[in-house]
Amino acid sequence: MRGFSSGRPLIGITVNRDYRRERLWLPFAYSRRLEEAGGIPLLLPPLQESAAGVMPGPLKAVLLGGGGDVAPFYYGDKPAPGLGEVDPERDAWEIALVRAAFSQGMPLLGICRGMQLLNVALGGTLLQDIGVAGYLQHHQKAPRHHPSHCVELLPRTRLAGILGRGHLAVNSFHHQAVEAIAPGLQKAALSPDGIVEALEDREHPFLMGVQWHPESLLDRASEFLFRAFIGAAADAAL
């Protein structure tokens, strides 16, 4: 594994699984943004939970990508009518992966479903379907790279410090949302209707989740976020 000692940290990315077509898939934007920020992406397919504790030694950080709904079983709830397609085996794998990485102080970044999964893995709960509750349209009809609503970045948060601003225009492709925030996590951004748009752990070397998709937005704020994540991974490699 000597090839991974070049100063570019190896970043694991969780991926989606399509049972019907027997394939794994991930939008290319995730890998591209990590590479542009100075990392080397490594795709992590759903594995057995026991594999979470034996990740390759060169792995320095984990990015939890988007995808389907998180099974309510994992946060002590029953399926509601608005629940979408779930992959309980993927959930179990990613929950184990988060807990293993968290215990090692490994940098973690969750995007959309990934933020929700972070919250569940650390003891929080989710709203199963905000589409029926009178919130803003959080699953936009605009192109993926186009912002659809603004979020307020809360003051004195790590995220606000990274992005250097108090408000941000974001894209949005979700119908589930954080409900009870996991112990140790704090809100870092809110949408105008009160939906939690970002979470962070200020005591962890780098643990952050955002509800939008920065890998698809063509703005400086997304660059700053990925660079901060890769910077934390590089620090972990020292």
Q: Is 43 strand, coil or helix?
A: strand
Q: Which of 94, 112, 174, 197 is catalytic?
A: 112
Q: Which of 138, 174, 175, 213 is catalytic?
A: 213
Q: Decide: 12 and 44 in contact? Cβ < 8 Å.
A: yes
Q: What is the pLDDT of residue 238?
A: 61
Residue 35 bears catalytic tag: no
Residue listed under structure tokens 């570019």: 8
Residue listed under structure tokens 């179990």: 92
Query: Which CATH number does 2-237 carry?
Result: 3.40.50.880
Closest CA to 65 of 111, 28, 29: 111
The CA distance from 72 to 192, in Å, is: 26
Q: What is the pLDDT of residue 21?
A: 67
Residue 223 bears catalytic tag: no
Q: Decide: 210 and 200 in contact? Cβ < 8 Å.
A: no
**pLDDT one-digit tens code per residue, 189-216:** 999 999 999 999 999 999 999 999 999 9
- Please give the torsion angle defined by the CA atoms of residues 189, 65, 93 and 12, in that order, rounded to the nearest 10 degrees: -110
The CA–CA distances, whole Å, from 146 to 7, 51, 158 equal 33, 37, 25
Q: What is the pLDDT of residue 49?
A: 87
Q: What is the pLDDT of residue 103?
A: 94
Q: Which of 94, 197, 200, 215 is catalytic?
A: 215
Point out the residues of the chain with pLDDT beneath 50: 1-4
Q: What is the pLDDT of residue 3?
A: 46
Residue 112 bears catalytic tag: yes
Q: What is the pLDDT of residue 2?
A: 47
